[in-house]
Structure 1
Amino acid sequence: MSTIRGSGPGIFTNVTIGDGVMLQFAEVTWEYSPQHYAYLVDDGHFDRALRTLRERSIGFWAGPQRQQPGEINHGHDGRGVYFLDPSGHCLELITHPYL
């Protein structure tokens, strides 16, 4: 079972998502091209993440071009959702691989 915790001194916010995986986020002060990052998660993690997005009023979409706001998709025999991180990168959570 994964847990989500945020912490960290300095410019990074460390987010531990379980199983030894940690993501580091930082606010940047330079220009960059937004990126897309997709994460394969189990159903329980997806449910917790979706609940967190709703509780924190973070916008999310069913499609990568911000289609169907407030909805998830059911592609590839699973579920998926897109949302933006604080720096504007597109994050995607999926419960079934595309391949």
Structure 2
Amino acid sequence: METSNGVTLDFATIPGESIVMQHYAFLISDEEFDAAFGRIREQGVTYYADPHLKQPGEINHHHGGRGLYFMDPAGHGMEIITRPYGNEE
């Protein structure tokens, strides 16, 4: 998969439990967030406002933007945000 800025994400299937869970955060525009959030809801993916998965079905508004967390099929933590960490505007 290639992102709009040319970064690629490569996926591999391996046997067993040898890959440790990782966290991936993606800074995206408000329009991209709306589209991604729509797909997440349409597909019935459980999403959370927090990285500890304690606020299901909610998004956050940290740093003056919007964000959410969800797990990918391999158990990795995915995050989409519309403002960089520490941006208080």
How high is the TM-score relative to the length of structure 1? Answer: 0.77
Q: Secondary structure at the match of 1:87?
A: coil
Q: Which structure's residues are more often strand, by fraction?
A: 1
| Match in the other structure for 1:18 | 4
CA distance in 2, matches of 1:52, 1:26: 23
Runs of 4+ in 1 over 6 A off after TM superposition: none
Q: How does 1:32-51 map to 2 (within 5 A)?
A: 32-51=19-38
Name stretches of at least 5 consecutive residues in structure 1 with no aligned partner.
Answer: 1-14
Q: How many residues align?
A: 85
Name stretches of at least 5 consecutive residues in structure 2 with no aligned partner.
Answer: none
Higher RCO (Cα < 8 Å, 6 or more apart): 2
CA distance in 2, matches of 1:40, 1:65: 19
Identity of aligned residues (%): 48
How high is the TM-score relative to the length of structure 2? Answer: 0.85
Contact residue 81 and residue 93 of structure 1 kept, 8 A: yes
